[in-house]
Amino acid sequence: MKALLPVYCRPLGYLVIALGVFMPILMALMGRVTDANLVFYKECAKLLMVMGCLMIIFAFSKEENREIEQGRNRAVRNAMFITVIILFCNMVYRVYTRDLTSVDSSTFLIFLIANVLCVEYEINRVRVKNLFKRS
């Protein structure tokens, strides 16, 4: 998987994720969140986190090369596997507790967060490998 966005989108993606996490809390402290607009703020926070994750995943790294590109491919594969495990455990829990009312609507966000973690791991693994290869 090739990177599409410039290098500065990686830190910008983390900033967007932080905004998505902390903005609803700040809005609730200011009294802007009510029962009428709770779903709106929840979905906006999810959308910000999704956009931030996509920015991180598709941004070039500073030392972009073929090995990092292969690491991105491995990261997507690992993220899919982790997401399936998390969703399976969540489904088993809901069956065990006989929860009929909750619906999991954050599957794509879970996948993207797992993907970001796997991409960061793969990029740092390649950097450390290249660091010791030079020595």
Question: Does the pLDDT value for residue 110 go beyond 70?
Answer: yes
Q: 11 pLDDT exceeds 90?
A: yes
The whole-model pTM stands at 0.80
- Nearest by Cα to 124 from 69, 57, 66, 68: 68
Q: What is the pLDDT of residue 25?
A: 92
What residue ranges do the domains of the chain occupy? 9-134
pLDDT tens digits, residue range 39-76? 899 889 999 999 999 999 888 888 788 888 888 888 88
Query: How many alpha carbons fall within 13 Å on the CB side of residue 13?
Result: 22
Do the beta carbons of residue 41 and residue 24 sit within 8 Å?
yes
Per-residue pLDDT for 4 more than 90? no
Report the distance separating Cα 95 and Cα 102, nearest Å. 11
Say which residue, 102 or 30, is predicted with more confidence: 30
pLDDT tens for 85-105 read 988 898 888 889 888 777 767
| Model pLDDT, residue 22 | 95
30-39, Cβ contacts within 8 angstroms, sequence gap of 24 or more: none
Burial group, residue 53, by CB count within 10 angstroms (0-12, 13-18, 19+): buried
HSE, CB side, 13 Å, CA atoms: give it for residue 9. Answer: 15
Quick one: pLDDT at residue 66?
A: 85
DSSP-derived letter for residue 60 is P
